[in-house]
């Protein structure tokens, strides 16, 4: 039996376009003499479809598309079998009235062969809003040539049932244990599993456990591509019955790969991904797909000469091509000469479009208008915010006029404690590094300028002969330059300290005593907790944040604004 693993990038809600993509995959399967094509979870819809699943007309439309797709595959490619992920309607009076299901298309018809059992409702996931849980495991009995196969099917979370590995506790159902009784010959998992730090390692461990427990090969097919704030890394793979990897598909890229079930010798991959290269690849894909799927061809960035905007410019260049990136420097009276020159030098290294708009005259106009009209003397913080909002207004005007996607350059440390200006530097259609702490921004930039990134820079058409970010930007003290000789440490503790405390509070959910036990001062902890709370209203108005961690400050951060604790 020969499988074709179809690691595809569907567009959410584009039922016709996704069906055409699946039909194109069938062509590849035919040319490689494959018997069975596997596509990811909800491949007809794209994941997550969210409230599009509540639209009855789209639910009905998917069935018409499935009918036509089945006929087209039969007509063009004969008896080829293809799995497709759909939202199956349940015809009763209860809600939710859908299953997250897999259908098998073959012989000009289609049938349901699997339904999802474990519905995640943590982090960004909210599947119980849309789906009901299936009660029993799914086994497809399939005759290929002269042999009859028993193929066990699981859908994404159905595989994540080892509490010692994935850490979320014991599920009421354990599909892997139930499949043991069914004596399957092979296990298939069809997923839409988004990228987060360490996810690849965890995914491999839970899959290896399942393969060893069942003593059968395991095929894992994952969606790739970015949808809004979620980034799907692909990285589909095949394990042997001992849980060892014998095939690995590409990271952050569509990939089609065939596999004969008798093939047990491990294949070599091009080059190994490090943690830093995976983060960079995820962010590049996040920007590329957000722009493409939202109809943007160009991006705009406010380039300050600092490390955050430098990194975002590099990511955007890799995602969209340097000729499609437009950067603007907006110096004020407090902008240092090295920041101005660093911005110019970075733009030159990246070969991006660059222009300068001085804003000192605009700041003077604001000050004069306030003074003359209402006898209002701007305080220091007000003056700083006005400066940031002038820049934000200019960038939005340029983005509107030229149809650029404005990329916000704030990092997670700043967003967490509110060291950012609403309607100023927070402006934008997408927050690129909003789930990356400042210390990790430095780490990623150091990697990007190292020899370790050469192969990756080459693949993204970035210069391999010079530092991308540059030593000046990587080594200077962080500053928003909102006042004379101002540094970030005037308002915040060093980022190494701040980020440790923030990670403890945000990702690890530690309380005051636990943070004190980690060696942090109580007064500083309470100050940071207060800053996080006060900045909540800002984060609610921030652009979508590309998710990298188990707890971003985006759609999976559900803290009320008006609280007391």
Residues classed as catalytic: 41, 116, 156
Rounded to whole angstroms, what are the CA distances from 329 to 239, 322, 354, 381? 51, 17, 8, 22
Burial class of residue 123, CB neighbours in 10 A (0-12, 13-18, 19+): middle
Q: What is residue 49's three-state secondary structure?
A: coil
Q: Distance (Å, rounded) from C-alpha 120 to C-alpha 130?
A: 11
- Sequence length of the chain is 565
Q: What is residue 178's three-state secondary structure?
A: helix
Burial class of residue 164, CB neighbours in 10 A (0-12, 13-18, 19+): exposed
Q: Distance (Å, rounded) from C-alpha 182 to C-alpha 179?
A: 5
Rounded to whole angstroms, what are the CA distances from 1 to 114, 137, 263? 20, 22, 10
Structure-token match 């000050």, residue found? 367
In eight-state DSSP terms, residue 236 is -
Selection from 216, 217, 192, 215 nearest residue 203 by Cα: 192
Burial class of residue 531, CB neighbours in 10 A (0-12, 13-18, 19+): middle
Helices then strands (H, E): number in the chain? 18, 19
Q: Distance (Å, rounded) from C-alpha 289 to C-alpha 8?
A: 13
* Residue 562 φ then ψ, to 5°: -90, 90
Q: Distance (Å, rounded) from C-alpha 242 to C-alpha 443?
A: 36
CA 8 to chain centre: 15
In eight-state DSSP terms, residue 194 is B
Q: Distance (Å, rounded) from C-alpha 152 to C-alpha 189?
A: 8
For 318, how many CA atoms within 13 A lie in the half-sphere containing its CB?
27
For 498, how many CA atoms within 13 A lie in the half-sphere containing its CB?
24
Contact in structure between 549 and 507 (CB atoms under 8 Å): yes
Query: Which residues contact residue 509 at a Cβ distance below 8 angstroms, ignoring those fewer than 6 apart?
Result: none
* Residue 79 φ then ψ, to 5°: -90, 20
Structure-token match 């070599």, residue found? 268
Selection from 102, 257, 301 nearest residue 188 by Cα: 102
């Amino acid at each position: 039996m020969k499988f074709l693993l179809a690691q595809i990038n569907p567009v959410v809600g584009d039922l016709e376009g996704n069906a055409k993509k699946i039909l194109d995959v069938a062509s590849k399967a035919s040319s490689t003499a494959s018997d069975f094509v596997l596509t990811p979870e909800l491949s007809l819809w794209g994941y997550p479809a969210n409230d599009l699943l509540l639209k009855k007309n789209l639910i009905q439309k998917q069935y018409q598309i499935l009918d036509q797709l089945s006929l087209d595959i039969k007509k063009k490619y004969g008896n080829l079998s293809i799995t497709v992920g759909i939202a199956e309607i349940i015809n009763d009076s209860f809600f939710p009235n859908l299953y997250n299901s897999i259908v098998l298309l073959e012989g000009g018809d289609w049938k349901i062969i699997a339904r999802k059992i474990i519905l995640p409702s943590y982090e960004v996931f909210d599947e119980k809003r849309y789906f009901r849980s299936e009660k029993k495991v799914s086994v497809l009995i399939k005759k290929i040539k002269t042999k009859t196969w028993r193929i066990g099917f699981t859908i994404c979370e159905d595989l994540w049932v080892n509490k010692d590995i994935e850490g979320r506790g014991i599920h009421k159902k354990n599909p892997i244990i139930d499949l043991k009784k069914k004596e399957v010959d092979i296990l298939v998992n069809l997923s839409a599993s988004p990228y987060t730090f360490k996810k690849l390692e965890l995914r491999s461990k839970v899959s290896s456990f399942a393969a060893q427990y069942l003593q059968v090969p395991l095929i894992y097919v994952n969606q790739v591509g970015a949808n809004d704030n979620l980034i799907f890394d692909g990285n589909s793979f095949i394990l042997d019955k001992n849980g060892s990897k014998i095939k690995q598909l590409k990271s952050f890229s569509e990939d089609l790969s065939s596999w004969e079930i008798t093939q047990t010798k491990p294949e070599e991959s091009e080059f190994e991904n490090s943690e830093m290269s995976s983060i960079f690849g995820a962010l590049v894909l996040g920007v590329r797909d957000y722009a493409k799927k939202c109809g943007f061809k160009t991006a705009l960035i406010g380039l300050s000469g600092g490390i955050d905007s430098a990194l975002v410019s590099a990511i955007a260049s890799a995602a969209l091509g340097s000729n499609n990136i437009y950067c603007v420097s907006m110096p004020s009276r407090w902008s240092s000469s090295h920041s101005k020159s660093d911005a110019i030098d970075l733009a030159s290294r990246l070969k991006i479009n660059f222009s300068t708009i001085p804003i000192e005259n605009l700041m003077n106009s604001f000050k004069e208008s306030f003074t003359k009209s209402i006898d209002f003397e701007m305080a220091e913080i007000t003056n700083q915010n006005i400066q940031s909002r002038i820049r934000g207004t200019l960038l939005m005007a340029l983005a509107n006029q030229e149809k650029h996607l404005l990329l916000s350059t704030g990092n997670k440390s700043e967003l967490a404690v509110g060291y950012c200006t609403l309607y100023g530097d927070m402006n934008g259609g997408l927050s690129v590094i909003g789930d990356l702490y400042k210390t990790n921004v430095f780490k990623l930039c150091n990697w990007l300028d190292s020899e370790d990134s050469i192969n990756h820079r080459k693949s993204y058409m970035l210069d391999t002969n010079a530092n991308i970010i540059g030593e000046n930007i990587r080594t200077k003290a962080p500053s928003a330059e909102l006042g004379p000789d101002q540094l970030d440490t005037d308002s915040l503790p060093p980022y190494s300290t701040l980020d440790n405390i923030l990670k403890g509070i945000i990702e690890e959910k530690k309380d005051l005593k636990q943070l004190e036990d980690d060696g942090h001062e109580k007064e500083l902890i309470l100050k940071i907790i207060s800053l996080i709370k006060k900045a909540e209203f800002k984060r609610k108005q921030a652009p979508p944040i590309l998710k990298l961690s188990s707890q971003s400050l985006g759609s999976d951060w559900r803290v009320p604004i008006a609280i007391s604790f």
